[in-house]
Structure 1
């Protein structure tokens, strides 16, 4: 696992999949991250895959 420190407005680039993660805001222990990725890259929260399989309903 790579651990990086970033400030609000800074971006992390993942060039192999043309994806950028931008730190939008930090409030207390909550960090808001914006993700820019091509439509071919699937981005999901951890746990959503399990819910999708168990409930068999589409993610919103």
Structure 2
């Protein structure tokens, strides 16, 4: 993991298309602005985890439905 120190209004560039800017720091809370192409999904980690869990559950249900159809 790369750890960088940035101040308010400083930026980090990832590749050619993704830019992260420190918008503000207030106590232990940091606000970040992220510029990325629309083709790249940007989520808070807890939202990303929920999406992955829902996708896994949906895939599992589809397999269960296929098993039921095979028995018919």
Same fold (TM over 0.5): yes
Structure of greater Rg? 2
Higher strand share: 1
Shift in Å, 1:9: 0.4
Are 1:7 and 2:7 an aligned pair? Answer: yes
> How many angstroms apart in 1 are the aligned matches of 2:5 and 2:48?
28
Higher relative CO (CA 8 A, sep ≥ 6), structure 1 or 2? 1
Unaligned runs of 5+ in 2: 59-72
Shift in Å, 1:4: 0.2
CA root-mean-square deviation: 1.7
Higher helix share: 2
Query: What is the TM-score of this pair, normalised by structure 2?
Result: 0.67
> How many angstroms apart in 1 are the aligned matches of 2:2 and 2:49?
25
Query: How many residues end up aligned between the 2 structures?
Result: 54
Query: What is the TM-score of this pair, normalised by structure 1?
Result: 0.79
Q: Runs of 4 or more off by more than 2 Å in structure 1? A: 49-52
